[in-house]
């Protein structure tokens, strides 16, 4: 084979190899960020360093603090006061939300419930009760997708369908709060939802409570929440958890004994926090 032909063949092989490398699937980092070529994250899975002994939780090492701040997202309230913000994710009903609402009513505690399209279709009476008793119904998307894989039009459709039905059923004004399903997001999700008037609401207290086949008792739920308690906490609980439903009253009582006050997300966003909204310590 002549040298010119060899050179052409080698060039073709190199370009083919480069193409294969570029076409490799995206990798997942240890922190949960999806990484494309150039190490630019295309999606994040929300996570944080938990509070220990009253110290504030941190997202400094997770790689998404800047874009959360940029789009006025929340994961903490005012850390200078002992305020708590109680939120629930309601993907489906497990027969426990009525009991949760009973406790909240008896204790006079506001909460936010983030609901999916499935929940909206199946549980209109519970939605009405949430709003009638002064709680916020937030958006958890219509079909619970990985929203980082959607374009702006698809994101709007996911959110608008929930909002329209909740307004029709409950009379609640337009939704203002979004919790991305499974905490997966990218900047497109935050920007598109902010354009629609939403603040994305993440959390600073959570534990593995969503597995209905792995409930460990009310005492366990109480311990998991109380050991993470800190000023300005946004609590994420799943309404399908029997442990949460049974522990909720004790959690509220003990938090109040420690000087905490439960407030709504509306109170949080109406407040002028030090440094402005969306600025995390």
Positions marked catalytic: 89, 238
β-pair type (136-139, 199-200): unpaired
Q: Who contacts 197 (Cβ-Cβ below 8 Å, separation ≥6)?
A: 174, 175, 176
Q: Who contacts 126 (Cβ-Cβ below 8 Å, separation ≥6)?
A: 93, 97, 98, 101
């Amino acid at each position: 084979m002549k040298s010119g032909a060899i050179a052409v063949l080698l060039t073709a092989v190199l370009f083919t190899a480069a193409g294969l490398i570029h076409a490799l699937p995206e990798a997942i980092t240890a922190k949960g960020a999806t990484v494309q070529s150039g190490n630019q994250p295309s999606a994040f899975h929300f996570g944080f360093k938990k509070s220990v002994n009253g110290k504030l939780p941190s997202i400094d090492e997770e790689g998404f603090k800047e874009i959360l701040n940029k789009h006025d997202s929340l994961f903490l309230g005012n850390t200078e006061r002992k305020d708590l913000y109680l939120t629930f994710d309601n993907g489906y009903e497990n027969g426990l939300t009525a009991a949760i609402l009973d406790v909240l009513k008896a204790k006079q505690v506001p909460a936010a419930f983030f609901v999916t399209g499935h929940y909206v279709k199946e549980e209109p009476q519970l939605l009405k009760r949430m709003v009638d008793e002064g709680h916020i119904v937030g958006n958890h998307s219509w079909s619970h997708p990985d929203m980082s894989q959607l374009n702006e039009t698809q994101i709007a459709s996911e959110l608008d369908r929930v909002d329209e039905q909740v307004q029709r059923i409950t009379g609640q004004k337009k939704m203002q709060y979004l919790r991305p399903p499974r905490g997966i997001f990218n900047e497109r999700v935050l920007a598109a939802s902010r354009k629609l008037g939403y603040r994305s609401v993440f959390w600073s207290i959570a534990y593995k409570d969503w597995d209905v086949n792995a409930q460990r008792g009310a005492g366990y739920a109480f311990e998991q929440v109380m050991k993470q308690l800190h000023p300005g906490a946004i609590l994420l609980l799943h309404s399908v958890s029997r442990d949460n439903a049974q522990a909720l009253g004790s959690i509220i009582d003990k938090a109040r004994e420690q000087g905490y006050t439960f407030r709504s997300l509306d109170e949080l966003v109406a407040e002028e926090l030090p440094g402005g909204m969306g600025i995390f310590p």
